[in-house]
Amino acid sequence: MKAPRIQGPGIFLAQFLPPANESVTLESMVHWAAELGYRGIQLPTWDKRIFDLEMASKSQAYCDDILGVCENSGVKITELSTHLQGQLVAAHPAYKDMLDIFAPEGLRGDLPARAEWASNQLFLAASASAKLKLKSHATFSGALLWHTFYPWPQRPAMLVEEGFRELGRLWRPILDAFDSAGVDVCYELHPGEDLHDGLTFERFLYEVDDHPRANILYDPSHLLLQQMDYLAFIDIYHERIKAFHVKDAEFHQSGRAGVYGGYAPWIDRPGRFRSLGDGQVDFRGIFSRLTQYGYDRWAVLEWECCIKDQQQGASEGAPFIRNHLITVADRAFDDFAGAKTDRARNRRILGLE
């Protein structure tokens, strides 16, 4: 039997790890995912309880052990994730205290040291991804400009250009390292990051000279909450989509708040994340579009629902993704009509002979 072109279902483990004061192993998490029907795991790299990024960057034997743990449960690694570290590659000082928690305790408050550590984490991730034989890597871009996303107070001329020039300078050596490793860097386009929609991604591409490793982690929930056409986004950027978070969301117009949310908690915002199938995202359209354009990498559940329990969300996620996978037809639907022909016949039909 032929397999669907898109691989799945996969699951991002970050939101399902127990609190930091509790013990957990990669083996237990992989077994849990496999029991729920997942075939792949997206692996966070900041929690040494399940994965030691520095060790993985240096030791093929360690990586082979990690792969063995996964294979024993019939699961593959879809991508490594450096979302937290990537956030610190470029971080405006206004968010110093809020982002410090993502860095080691000894570096907190020291922005230059923290940024250097974050960049080094990405270099380690490139090496580890190569040793694990992965094709894609999931991350955030970080932000120097996010506090200016609304054009008031008026932005000085060339401020945006300077911000993206610096963002490109910070990421260019990292992209080169991933290029040497043969791995695509997939930026999750996300509010709070300088790369949060198509136009900002295009600005970044310009600054890194259309670097072949600068790609997109497609997450329609963030596009829906920005009220973007997330299907047309695939039409425009499909050549750069190299990773996929399957995450649902909904937006209900309100007379009290809009896309900015009015500082309300998630459950009270007009736009909020939901478990798969509980929101408004047209996943049939998404899977059809991605399949049409030849996307052949992983479909990975990211769970961030403000209502449903995470275990229920995880349990429902695997069959939801599996039911949306498309096995590509190997012949045209009207082949039965027997449209075999030759040039002479074609010319007769055209009235040329």
Which stretches within 150-279 are classed as H helix?
Answer: 159-181, 198-207, 220-225, 230-237
Supply the CATH classification number for the domain 7-349: 3.20.20.150
pTM of the full structure: 0.95
Contacts 24+ apart (CB under 8 A), 108-116: 114/88, 115/88, 115/89, 115/90, 115/91, 115/170
Residue 321 pLDDT: 98
Residue 37 pLDDT: 98
Task: Calculate ∠ Cα 46-208-156, nearest 5°.
Answer: 95
Residue 330 pLDDT: 79
What is the residue extent of each domain of the chain?
7-349
- The Cα-based distances of 154 to 78, 150, 226, 307 in angstroms read 43, 9, 22, 38
Cβ 65 vs Cβ 27: under 8 Å: no
Alpha-carbon dihedral sign for residues 257, 260, 264, 265: positive
In order along its 353 residues, the chain shows pLDDT tens digits of 678 899 999 999 999 999 999 999 999 999 999 999 999 999 999 999 999 999 999 999 999 999 999 999 999 999 999 999 999 999 999 999 999 999 999 999 999 999 999 999 999 999 999 999 999 999 999 999 999 999 999 999 999 999 999 999 999 999 999 999 999 999 999 999 999 999 999 999 999 999 999 999 999 999 999 999 999 999 999 999 999 999 999 999 999 999 999 999 999 999 999 999 999 999 999 999 999 999 999 999 999 999 999 999 999 999 999 999 999 987 776 666 676 778 998 999 899 97
Residue 337 pLDDT: 66
